[in-house]
Amino acid sequence: MTNRRFSIRLAALAVFAIAQLFPVVLNPADAQQLTDKAKKVGGKFMCMCGCSQVLTECNHVGCTTSAGMLKDLNQRLDRGESEDSITQAFVQEFGTQVYAEPPKSGFSLVAWLMPSFYLLLGTVLVIFVISKWRKRVPVEALADGAASGISPELLARARAQAAKETED
């Protein structure tokens, strides 16, 4: 198989793979039903049946808890209650376990800050390690250089050549 034919086949394969994505995205407006307020608000609560699922996603057969909660939610929305007052009412009825995600206030803020803190701390650590490694003189280089009497210039040139040769 020639180089060109192989490239054409690869390109065709890529086009086929990408084509699989198009039907998904041709109708994005149709794909979403996020305008439904009940769905949006309900997505902020957990189903309290113990299934560990978000209220609007819990549909396991025979779950009366989610049905009751969704009914209550719809009634409150029909009465024109705000998101905040619905949240308060649900927390009062079911406790803080009803939150699908921790509120961004008080102690719960810690949950939101922790990942960013880890990332920041990790990045600082990696930068520290990189700078430390860059300053370090390699053990084997010291030993080899000293033993063989190779000059630092020659060693640097050899290393540069090796780096060039081993580069992908």
Partner 1 sequence: MDVFGSFALVLAFVCAVYAIVGGIAAIVTRHPLLVKSARHAGMATCCLIFTATFSLEYLFFTDNFSAAYVVSHSNRDLATFYKIAALWSGQEGSLLFWSFLLSIYVFSVLIAYRNKNGELMPYVGVVMAGVQTFFLVLNNFVASPFKMLAIANANGSLTYFTREDGQGLTPLLQYPEMVIHPPNLYSGYTGFTIPFAFALGALLARYPGEKWIHLTRKWTMIAWTFQTLGIMLGAHWAYAVLGWGGYWGWDPVENASLLPWLTGTAFLHSVMMQEKRGMMKVWNVWLVFCTFGLCILGTMLTRSGVVSSVHAFAQSSIGSYFVGFLAITFLVCFAAFLKNRDYLKSENQLDSVVSRESSFLFNNLILLVSCVAVLSGTLFPVFSEWFTGDRISVGAPFFNKVNIPIGLILLFLTGVGPLLAWRKTSTDSLKRNFGWPLLVSLVMGAVLFAFGVREFYSLICFILCIFVTSTIGMEFLRGSKVLHARTGSSFITCAIDLTMRNTRRYGGYIVHMGMVFVFIGLAGVAFNRDIQKEMQIGQSMQIGPYTLVLQSYDTKAEKNYTAQRLIVEVLRDNKPMMMLYPEKRKFATAEQPGTMVAIYSTLKEDLYVVYAGDSGDTQLPVVHAYLNPLVKWIWLGGVVVVFGTLVALLPNRRAVLVLAGSTEAATHPAQAGLPSTVTLREGHD
38 within 8 A of 73, measured Cβ to Cβ: yes
How far is it, in rounded angstroms, from Cα 100 to Cα 44? 5
Examine residue 68 and tell whether it contacts partner 1 (CB under 8 A). no
Examine residue 158 and tell whether it contacts partner 1 (CB under 8 A). no
Residues 92-121 that bind partner 1 (CB under 8 A): 95-103, 106-108, 110-112, 114-115, 118-119
Examine residue 72 and tell whether it contacts partner 1 (CB under 8 A). no
How far is it, in rounded angstroms, from Cα 93 to Cα 144? 73
The CB-of-85 to partner 1 minimum distance in angstroms stands at 20
Residues 17-46 that bind partner 1 (CB under 8 A): 17-18, 20-28, 30-33, 43-44, 46
Cα angle 56, 57, 61 (rounded to 5 degrees) comes to 110
Among residues 9 and 82, whose Cβ is nearest to partner 1?
9
Burial class (CB in 10 A: 0-12, 13-18, 19+), 58: buried
Among 80, 92, 105, 135, binds partner 1 (CB under 8 A): 135
